[in-house]
Amino acid sequence: MAFQGERGAYSEEAALSYFGSKIEFLPCKTLKAVFQAVESDMATVGMVPVENSLEGAVSETYDLLLSSNLIVSGEYNLRVRHCLIANQGVRIEDVRRVYSHPQALAQCRRFLDTLGVEIIPYYDTAGSAYMIKRERLMDAAAIASKRAAEIYSLQILAESIEDSPNNYTRFFVIGKFEREPTGRDKTSIVFTTKHVPGALYAALGVFARRGINLTKIESRPTKQTPWEYNFYVDFEGHKLDVSVHEALEELKAHTLYIKILGSYPKAEQPT
């Protein structure tokens, strides 16, 4: 199972919760490397973040889903609890620099403002914890998970430092296999409409007329023509359901391009 980051990353935590502890992990430096590992069969599946409830979409994941032939086969919502962690013996008043992934830093703005420290983006939350351990930094801390602190034998200076308790990250399971209908599924697609008035309205109407509930819509630049966009849509139902199949067939008449990213069992809703 491939994930982005070092051991102790939130992606690994999500994978443990989803698959259990009897799987082998393949840490990858980047999200692109996760996709490449699964595409090349170095890993059977990958776990990638797609959106955060506070900071929004993970744009790189959406772009990689568009260019890859991998299939979304599952989703998981992880409650993210950030900790300020440091080497043993470091006091919170000793901290002059804080390292972490840019999204984690953004999710802890209010707490960091109270510290008055230098904020330094790093490629991964757990990676920042490993770095301050490896470099033996005694004037720095990292924002990462409690599990990362345990893995690298670091001490926790403060827990639950995120700005909001409603801090969840949604993850996709990516692989090469399709999931059969379960009766409580979701489907993710991406499409491009004609650049004419009412094009998106007409496209989304195919779902409304059949009572299919849209759960998310996200736009990303096509990167081919300025100010034209790909639309990523999640909705309830499996692509093999009769109403969903009919909607997708009709959608073809209102789009220039359409790709089904996958149908998969719905994750439990955050509580």
Q: What is the DSSP string of 59-104?
A: HHHHHHHHH---EEEEEEEEE---EEEE-TT--GGG--EEEE-HHH
Name the active-site residue from 61, 169, 187, 193.
Answer: 169
Whether 169 sits among the annotated catalytic residues: the reply is yes
Q: Is 114 a catalytic residue?
A: no
Rounded to two decimals, what is the model's pTM?
0.91
Q: Which two tokens stand for residue 58?
A: 């993970």
Report how far apart the first and last C-alpha atoms of the chain are (Å, whole number).
27
Strand blocks (E) in the chain: 2-4, 26-28, 46-52, 56-57, 71-79, 83-86, 97-100, 118-121, 140-144, 155-159, 168-175, 185-193, 214-221, 229-236, 255-265
Which domains, and CATH codes, for the chain? Answer: 2-80+167-175 (3.40.190.10), 83-159 (3.40.190.10), 185-265 (3.30.70.260)
> For residue 51, which of 14, 5, 24, 83 has the smallest C-alpha distance?
14
> Per the residue annotation, which of 3, 35, 125, 171 is the catalytic one?
171
- Round to whole Å and give the CA distance between 129 and 221: 34
pLDDT tens, N- to C-terminus, the chain (271 residues): 999 999 999 999 999 999 998 889 999 999 999 999 999 999 999 999 999 998 889 999 999 999 999 999 999 999 999 999 999 999 999 999 999 999 999 999 999 999 999 999 999 999 999 999 999 999 999 999 999 999 999 999 999 999 988 999 999 999 999 999 999 999 999 999 988 899 999 999 999 999 999 999 999 998 888 888 999 999 999 999 999 999 999 999 999 999 999 999 999 876 5
